[in-house]
Amino acid sequence: MFHPVSGSVEVICGPMFSGKTEELIRRVRRAEIARMRVQIFKPSIDTRYDEDAVVSHSSIKIPSQKIESSDEILSILNDFTRVVAIDEIQFFDEGIVSVVSKLSRRGLRVICAGLDLDYRGVPFGPMPTLLALADEVLKIHAICTVCGKPASKTYRKPQAGRDKVLLGETDLYEARCTGHWEFDEFNSPLTVSSSEAKQEPGFIN
């Protein structure tokens, strides 16, 4: 595994339930064992479970600071922080790309976790650019709820309705392999142009 000493961007991506948050917490804990000062951020839109902690679906949690917009990270960064971890990074504005890049150029290690695709299979917000600029990328799978094979997609259940951004859990979303992934035909990237599709981020992990 890649072990940066300074100035790097790591991106952990995959569908819902793939273990992105668990992996982010694992890396943060190891950095803390190495006595590095860490700050953990999440977007304020994600209020599931806990306002002031990053929490995994397996209930592992770690305290975090919630922020409204990407610039806030730079203004609340402590001088001694060496590692910055950002969960649910797909929800940030495009400005997050220059913030992440700036932090790594200042010599910080930046660990990002986020959904690569929304439930329609459309790349999510700033994720494509973050994946391109990353020094290290980890794409992980969940388990398909239908067949038990590796799942790279997120399926939104029909009862979830059509709201574009919808906070939800196992009641609304499932991990699925590509073969068992079904999506809303009216919002699918296969039936609308990619420019239309990009304007409509799909859901919240």
Interface ranges with ligand ADP (CB under 6 A) = 14, 16-22, 56-58, 142-143, 145, 175, 205
143 binds, among ligand ADP, Mg ion, none (CB under 5 to 8 A by kind): ligand ADP
Rounded to 5 degrees, φ, ψ at 130 are -60, -40
Quote the least distance from Cβ 105 to Mg ion, whole Å: 27
Considering beta carbons, is residue 67 or 192 the nearer one to Mg ion? Answer: 67
For the bound state, the minimum distance from the C-beta of residue 28 to ligand ADP, rounded and expressed in Å, comes to 13
CA–CA separation, 11 and 13 (whole Å): 6
- Minimum distance between the CB of residue 190 and Mg ion, rounded to whole angstroms? 26
Catalytic residue among 10, 23, 88, 174: 88
Asked if 46 contacts 204 with a C-beta cutoff of 8 angstroms, the reply is: yes
Contacts of 57 (CB under 8 A, 6+ apart): 17, 21, 169, 170
Provide the mask over 25-54, with x wherever binding to Mg ion is found by CB under 5 A and - wherever it is not. ------------------------------
Q: Is 64 in the site for Mg ion (CB under 5 A)?
A: no
When the beta carbons of 114 and 126 are compared against ligand ADP, the nearer one is 114
- Return d(Cα 98, Cα 17) in angstroms, integer: 28
When the beta carbons of 38 and 175 are compared against ligand ADP, the nearer one is 175
The neighbour count for residue 111, using CB atoms within 10 Å, is 26
Distance CA 6, CA 105 (A): 9
Instruction: Respond yes or no: is residue 200 known to be catalytic.
Output: no
Q: What is the CA radius of gyration of the chain?
A: 17
Q: Which residues are catalytic?
A: 88
Which residues contribute to the site for Mg ion (CB under 5 A)? 20-21
